[in-house]
Structure 1
Amino acid sequence: MSVAISATYAALLTLIFIVLSVRVIQRRGETKTSLGAGDDVALERRIRAHGNFAEFAPLGIVLLLLTELMGAPAIAVHAAGLTLLIGRGMHALALSRVTPSMPLRAGGMVLTFAMLGLTALGLLTHAIW
């Protein structure tokens, strides 16, 4: 069975992760901060955008892969993948801004939680029957 859909979203999410990582590294260089955020608010925001992405994206990728492996229709796998991608992107953008956008942040979390919850329920439903 092909897992091309999951692989595509995993690759796209990884590219976002790399961008977030580079932004942290750049700011660390600018502020000469090797550990933590010091007193730099911008660095702290970048660290949290990166960290939050690292906390949620892997679980979403695993659930997406399992959904595809369990034989969900391609359209459902794409819908879940897009929801995760957009949600994580929105949240990362919201936290990375000089002035964080709470609506963008909240929207990103809603999409992320919707993807996680709906795929988990779908997997449970499929596993039970």
Structure 2
Amino acid sequence: MNTVTSGHAAALWVGLHLILLLILSLLVVRQRRKHKVALGDGGIPELERAIRAFGNATEYIPAALIGIAVLAVVEAPALAVHLTGFLLFAGRVLHGFGLSRSGGTSLARAIGVTLTWLAYVFASVALLFYAIA
């Protein structure tokens, strides 16, 4: 029987988040080419939103991936890694989608940031538990 370990779970979520970052980066490049803007946002709202969607993801994803990796290192249950990874991934996808549609507030952005913060809280509590236990 082949069991999924926390390391396998971490590999899945790190891989998916790297793909998400690549997609968000490609969306910036596409907007840059479309509007012929090499640096900055050129005052173009859709380019500005693409830049911020990528930037915001790069602000939140790396620290959470460290948390996911450390959960795997301390051999937390794969379910804990999957829960953290899923919350973060769903949050970042929703946030990126919401931000790419509108620079203002949106339900997708609100849910996205809430799920991201839940991933941070869950991972933090789990890591502290494994540090002390």
Normalising to structure 1: TM-score of the pair? Answer: 0.92
What is the CA deviation profile of residues 37-61 of structure 1, one whole-angstrom value per residue up to 9, with x for unaligned ones?
0110000000000000111111111
The answer to whether residue 60 in structure 2 is matched with residue 56 in structure 1 is: yes
Gaps of 5+ in 1: none
What is the CA deviation profile of residues 71-116 of structure 1, one whole-angstrom value per residue up to 9, with x for unaligned ones?
2111121111111111111111111125766111011111111111
Normalising to structure 2: TM-score of the pair? Answer: 0.90
1:27 maps to which residue?
A: 31
Larger CA deviation: 105-114 vs 64-73: 64-73
Gaps of 5+ in 2: none
Q: How many residues align?
A: 129
2:94 maps to which residue?
A: 90
Correspondent of 1:13 among 8, 12, 17: 17
The answer to whether residue 105 in structure 2 is matched with residue 121 in structure 1 is: no
**Which amino acid is the alignment partner of residue 34 of structure 1?**
A
Structure 1's consecutive aligned runs of 4 or more residues displaced over 4 angstroms after TM superposition are 98-101
**Which amino acid is the alignment partner of residue 8 of structure 1?**
L
- Percent identity for Structure 1 against Structure 2: 34
**What RMSD over aligned residues (CA atoms) do the two structures have, in Å?**
1.6
Larger CA deviation: 51-60 vs 96-105: 96-105
CA distance in 1, matches of 2:132, 2:60: 25
**Which amino acid is the alignment partner of residue 42 of structure 2?**
G
Q: Shift of residue 2 of structure 1?
A: 6.4
CA distance in 1, matches of 2:26, 2:35: 14
**Which amino acid is the alignment partner of residue 101 of structure 2?**
R
CA distance in 2, matches of 1:98, 1:71: 40
